[in-house]
Amino acid sequence: MTLTVGVFALQGDVREHLEVLGGLGVRALGVRRPSELDLCDALVLPGGESTTMAKLARTFELFDPIRKRLADGMPTLGTCAGMILLADRIEDGAAGQETFGGLDVTVRRNAFGRQVDSFEGDIDVKGLVEPMHAVFIRAPWVEQAGPDVEVLARVEDGAAAGRIVAVRQGHLLATSFHPEVNGDPRVHGLLVDLIRTT
């Protein structure tokens, strides 16, 4: 049976995620309405603007269905803004900013700075044999992780050395960086593995 992985498609880095997922042999589907979410075995919450994404999810009546699917155990990958949307708590969030929640972390928005502070670097990610070339664009980081959260990666050098940039809690994966932009499908592969084991 072919697995279907949806990508939240109301705002953000959608096309690149769909291409990576398609290359992994799953059916990749842009999700803009609840009926499309119903077809999905897993979901990707892409990079973008987290406050706008949450507001659009409300407008298109996707917010509560996504929150319910997450609570019911749907495997989900959040990248950059998607990490923020999965977090239970936000530092430096906009007034009244909502998240889908489910991930017992505190995430700091734009932790690495503005667009001009975006950077790239190789990081070791738990579960991957070789280091991953990671692209950080106005990225968040995890300030605090709860006891059930597994830290998968930290920044290894520079001013942000030691900061948490990838985590997993049960069926939820999240990265500060954009795994869809460098042609390396291994983080998406971790999501596909989660579907098969949960």
- 20-35 tens-digit pLDDT: 999 999 999 999 999 9
* Residue of 16, 17, 40, 80 marked active site: 80
**Residue 97 is which amino acid?**
Q
Q: Which two tokens stand for residue 192?
A: 């596909």
Cα 86 to Cα 153: distance, rounded to the nearest angstrom: 17
Establish whether 40 is a catalytic residue. Answer: no
pLDDT at 155 over 60: yes
Q: Which two tokens stand for residue 166?
A: 């990838």
- pLDDT for residue 114: 59
pLDDT at 84 over 80: yes
- pLDDT for residue 197: 85
DSSP state of 115: G
Establish whether 80 is a catalytic residue. Answer: yes
Using alpha carbons only, what angle is made at residue 6 by residues 28 and 108, rounded to the nearest 5 degrees?
125
pLDDT at 7 over 70: yes
pLDDT at 159 over 90: no
Over residues 28-45, the mean pLDDT reads 97
Q: How many domains does the chain have?
A: 1
Residue 10 sits in a domain whose CATH number is 3.40.50.880
* Residue of 17, 171, 178, 188 marked active site: 178
- Which carries the bigger pLDDT value, residue 105 or residue 137? 105
Q: Which domain holds residue 159?
A: 4-197
Label residue 118 by pLDDT band (50, 70, 90).
Answer: low
pLDDT at 117 over 70: no
* Residue of 16, 98, 180, 188 marked active site: 180
Q: In this predicted structure, which of 30-44, 48-62, 70-84, 115-129 has the lowest mean pLDDT?
A: 115-129
pTM score of the predicted model: 0.94
